[in-house]
């Protein structure tokens, strides 16, 4: 069977020569207890959380969501779905793990019609191949019910398969900018029929240097197309995208009351270079599902080998791994077959794997922004989670700076491998307080410039947020691969500077569709 049943008699191919602001603060427990605020910031009485049906979601989609165990919308969905279903441009500010995929996915599928060959009706732009596959997987049941065909498009896999799929008619394309621009240059896809565009993780796209490619794409899309943009931040270049490509958008913001989410526990453990890996093993032995972040691809490979010698099963994902290797590692981790995933910042944004109870910063992040993005892999959607950062003596000053920027103030507590607290760090209450000489306004003998330079040297490794809003700006996905991509492992899958994920059709859905077609023809 095919992934999606094609609608009958799809059109043949033609040759293609003042905003409203709503702020919503999620609760510490369930989204139904969230307290919205008015435009002047006053807290107002919050009614009971509406159901999907009350938000205007069609009944057939409500039934599909209920079958998947999704019965109550999250705050970002409550805020954005009605406007998006009504055809209005939406600018949503929310962190990863807040439920954005369904917030744009439900209206997207509902408003998508059958496409002609090589001319998709709707487009989702994402920064990484992992996020492209994740979005495709989340929207598959909804699209299948509407007899729509979607395809994830990113680099690192055969472009010919994507071209073949586009020729048959893809209704909803989920793409990374680099591969999409390649297909546009070859004339294998046209965006002239696109009626709705989503830019997911726009800030990560900006961080990864993809905005020029995104704008090339947006400039090729009709300016009357509905545009939904979601980002953790809306300043700088993201604000320019909103101004250029959105028309009177409804602005919605979901604010986390704490650094990441209210249920997140954080620990900073002092180690030495001699004890670091052994302390790591002791911490990991007490967790059921852990993502470990390292600075380099070689560091990821080495840590997996060391953990294996200590009897711990771990897989790694980074830019030097092939797409199939990364997919196998992610699948094993998501299914619980492998309890430890070691990753460079390639996985810091966009991935949503349920029940990750621990995030371990084996190497401290470059800055507070990377810290929050990495840490957001746990404690998602109200679940509990623990974040542990290992700190070498020479890293303490930089880590304290990260804490100040993130608005937290935990002490770095040194522990040896035989410290009993390592077995259950969640039950241990760490002391608070940063060194006096590192007060909020206090400077250090080392200015921030060196650390920022180091963050820049880490390049794409430090790039995490993503998505920019779609409109048009065809062009070639050139991108550079410099030291940034190599050091971080977030190199373009096809060598074109699109960080961790560049275009190609979602392998899983495309393969399943092909298999279903073959079965139906047999």
Q: For 359-406, what is each residue's pLDDT tens digit?
A: 999 999 998 888 888 888 887 655 678 999 999 999 999 999 999 988
Provide the domain limits for residue 395. Answer: 264-438
For residue 90, being part of any structural domain is answered with yes
Measured distance CA(400)–CA(135) in Å, rounded: 36
Q: What is the mean pLDDT of the chain?
A: 77
Query: Are residues 296 and 179 part of one domain?
Result: no
Query: Are residues 282 and 406 part of one domain?
Result: yes
Query: Are residues 412 and 485 part of one domain?
Result: no
Domain boundary among 387, 421, 438: 438
Query: Which residues in the chain show pLDDT less than 50?
Result: 1-47, 257-262, 438-522
Q: For 440-457, what is each residue's pLDDT tens digit?
A: 433 333 333 333 333 333
Query: Are residues 390 and 363 part of one domain?
Result: yes
Query: Are residues 180 and 141 part of one domain?
Result: yes
Say what the pLDDT of residue 384 is. 74
DSSP assignment string, 181-196: HHHHHHTS---TT--E
How many folded domains does the chain comprise?
2
Q: Does pTM top 0.85 for this prediction?
A: no
Question: Other CB atoms closer than 10 Å to residue 280's CB: what's the count?
Answer: 26
For residue 250, being part of any structural domain is answered with yes
Measured distance CA(481)–CA(81) in Å, rounded: 38
Return the closest-CA partner of residue 248 out of 90, 406, 115, 57: 90
Coil, helix or strand for 338? coil
Domain boundary among 418, 438, 458: 438
Query: Are residues 345 and 490 part of one domain?
Result: no
Measured distance CA(136)–CA(176) in Å, rounded: 12
Half-sphere exposure of 242 (CA within 13 A, CB side): 23
Domain boundary among 438, 454, 485: 438
The CATH number covering residue 301 comes to 3.40.50.300
For residue 391, what are the β-bridge partners?
270
For residue 80, being part of any structural domain is answered with yes
Measured distance CA(114)–CA(510) in Å, rounded: 17
Helix (H) or strand (E) holding 218: helix 211-218
Query: Are residues 210 and 66 part of one domain?
Result: yes
Return the closest-CA partner of residue 249 out of 234, 269, 270, 265: 234
Residues in the chain: 522
* 274 contacts: CB under 8 Å, gap ≥ 6: none
Query: Are residues 274 and 240 part of one domain?
Result: no
Say what the pLDDT of residue 57 is. 97
């Amino acid at each position: 069977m095919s992934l999606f049943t094609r609608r009958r008699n799809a059109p043949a191919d033609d040759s293609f020569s003042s905003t409203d602001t709503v702020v919503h603060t999620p609760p510490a427990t369930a989204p139904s207890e969230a307290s919205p605020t008015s435009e002047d910031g006053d807290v107002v009485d919050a009614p009971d959380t509406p159901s999907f049906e009350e938000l205007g979601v069609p009944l057939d989609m409500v039934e599909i969501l209920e079958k998947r165990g999704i019965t109550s919308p999250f705050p970002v969905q409550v805020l954005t779905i009605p406007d998006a279903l009504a055809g209005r441009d939406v600018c949503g500010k929310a962190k990863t793990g807040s439920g954005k995929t369904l917030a744009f996915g439900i209206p997207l599928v509902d408003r998508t019609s059958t496409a002609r060959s090589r001319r998709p009706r709707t487009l989702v732009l994402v920064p990484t191949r992992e996020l492209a596959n994740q979005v495709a997987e989340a929207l598959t049941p909804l699209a299948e019910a509407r007899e729509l065909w979607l395809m994830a498009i990113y680099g690192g896999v055969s472009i010919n398969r994507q071209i073949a799929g586009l020729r048959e008619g893809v209704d909803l394309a989920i793409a990374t900018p680099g591969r999409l621009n390649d297909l546009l240059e070859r004339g294998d896809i046209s965006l002239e029929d696109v009626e709705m565009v989503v830019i997911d993780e726009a800030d990560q796209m900006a961080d990864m240097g993809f905005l020029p490619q995104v704008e090339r794409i947006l400039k090729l899309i009709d300016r009357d197309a509905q545009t939904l943009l979601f980002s953790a931040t809306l300043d700088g270049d993201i604000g320019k995208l909103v101004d250029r490509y959105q028309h009177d958008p409804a602005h919605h913001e979901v604010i986390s009351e704490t650094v990441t989410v209210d249920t997140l526990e954080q620990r900073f453990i002092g180690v030495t270079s001699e004890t670091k890996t052994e302390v790591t093993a002791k911490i990991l032995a007490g967790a059921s599902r852990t993502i470990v972040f390292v600075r380099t691809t070689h560091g990821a490979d080495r840590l997996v080998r060391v953990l294996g010698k200590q009897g711990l099963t771990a897989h790694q994902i980074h830019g030097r791994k092939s797409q199939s290797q990364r997919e196998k590692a992610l699948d094993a981790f998501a299914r619980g077959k492998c309890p430890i995933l070691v990753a460079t910042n390639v996985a810091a944004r966009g991935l949503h794997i349920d029940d990750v109870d621990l995030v371990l910063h084996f190497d401290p992040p470059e800055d507070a922004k990377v810290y929050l993005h990495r840490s957001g892999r746990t404690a998602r959607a109200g679940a509990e989670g623990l974040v542990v950062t290992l700190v070498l003596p020479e890293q303490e000053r930089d880590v304290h700076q990260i804490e100040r920027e993130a608005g937290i103030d935990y002490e770095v507590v040194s522990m040896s491998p035989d410290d009993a607290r390592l077995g259950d760090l969640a039950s241990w209450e760490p002391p608070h307080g940063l060194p006096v000489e590192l007060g909020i306004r206090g400077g250090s003998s080392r200015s921030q410039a060196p650390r920022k330079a180091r963050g820049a040297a880490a390049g794409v490794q430090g790039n995490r947020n993503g998505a920019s809003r779609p409109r048009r700006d065809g062009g070639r996905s050139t991108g550079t691969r410099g030291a940034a991509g190599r050091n971080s492992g977030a190199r373009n899958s096809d060598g074109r500077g699109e960080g961790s994920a560049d275009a190609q059709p979602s392998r899983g859905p495309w393969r399943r569709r092909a298999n279903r077609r073959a079965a139906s023809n047999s």
